[in-house]
């Protein structure tokens, strides 16, 4: 406790392994998602308490529409219930919720809930919690290009100004990206923003992820040397 380490300004998490967690226990995949939501709650609180400024959680990818209709529908209802229940706690912890992704394909009840949570927490400034919902990194980049084209001027785009057209406009790139569930891939997550992120992969399935392991990962991160191409 109280051991000093430098906390990433921005951490992003690919919360994977809910389905396998449930399967191992002979339960339906949806039970894994339910358990996963409880973990989200604890990790969000821990992040704000450590002094993190931005936390981005991958909740639903543009590819996740390929799952069964039942699972997709279950996930959307679970998000809405969890978000609504969670608003008072977000307010208490001064956390502002923000959604990254393209909301247009989402069902109306999800869009309304996103807007409501955003409005309710807009005044908070201790930490920004980005929920990547119907998020795809390639789509984000292509949409940015289209926005730029629609401006119709011969605007000179730099690497920095390009960022203003991404969903994460105004936010620093993730310092650390954690993926649970054992897979070693990004699955279309933060493709532009992850250029220099530190990556951490753990076999732990998301519903088994604990604050203790999170702290160990953050400490591991703080020992890494980020060279950004420089020689030491």
List active site positions: 16, 64
Residue pointed to by tokens 């394909």: 105
Q: Which of 10, 11, 15, 16 binds Mg ion (CB under 5 A)?
A: 16
CA–CA distance, 36 with 42 (Å, rounded to integer): 10
Q: Which of 17, 101, 136, 137 binds ligand IPE (CB under 6 A)?
A: 17
76 binds, among Mg ion, ligand IPE, none (CB under 5 to 8 A by kind): none
Give whichever of 25 and 94 is closer to ligand IPE, judged by the CB atom. 25
Strands 54-61 and 127-135: parallel
Residue of minimal Cβ distance to ligand IPE: 19
What are the Cα distances from residue 27, in Å, to 39, 47, 207? 18, 30, 13
Residue 108 phi, psi (nearest 5): -55, -40
Say whether residue 174 binds ligand IPE (CB under 6 A): no
CA distance 66 to 217: 31
Comparing CB distances to ligand IPE, the nearer of 100 and 124 is 100
Residue 121, Cβ neighbours under 10 Å: how many? 20
Chain residues binding Mg ion by CB under 5 A are: 16
Chain residues binding ligand IPE by CB under 6 A are: 14-20, 58-61, 63-64, 75, 181, 183, 185, 187
């Amino acid at each position: 406790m109280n051991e000093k380490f430098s906390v990433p300004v921005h951490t992003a998490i690919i919360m994977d392994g809910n389905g396998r967690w449930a399967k191992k226990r002979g339960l339906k995949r949806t039970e894994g998602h339910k358990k996963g939501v409880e973990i989200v709650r604890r990790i969000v609180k821990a992040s704000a308490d450590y002094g993190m400024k931005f936390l981005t959680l991958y909740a639903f990818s543009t590819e996740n529409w390929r799952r069964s209709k039942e699972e997709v529908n279950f996930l959307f209802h679970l998000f809405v219930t969890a978000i609504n229940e969670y608003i008072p706690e977000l307010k208490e912890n001064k956390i502002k919720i923000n959604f990254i992704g393209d909301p247009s394909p989402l069902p109306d009840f999800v869009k309304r809930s996103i807007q409501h949570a955003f409005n309710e927490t807009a005044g908070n400034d201790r930490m920004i919690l980005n929920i990547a919902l119907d998020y795809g990194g390639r789509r984000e980049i292509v949409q940015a290009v289209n926005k730029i084209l629609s401006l119709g001027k011969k605007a000179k785009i730099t690497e920095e100004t390009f960022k203003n057209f991404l969903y994460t406009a105004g936010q620093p790139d993730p310092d650390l990206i954690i993926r649970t569930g054992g897979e070693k891939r990004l699955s279309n997550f933060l493709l532009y923003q992850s250029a220099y992120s530190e990556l951490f992969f753990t076999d732990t399935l998301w519903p088994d992820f604990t604050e203790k392991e999170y702290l160990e990962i953050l400490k591991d991160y703080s020992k890494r040397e980020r060279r950004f191409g420089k020689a030491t």
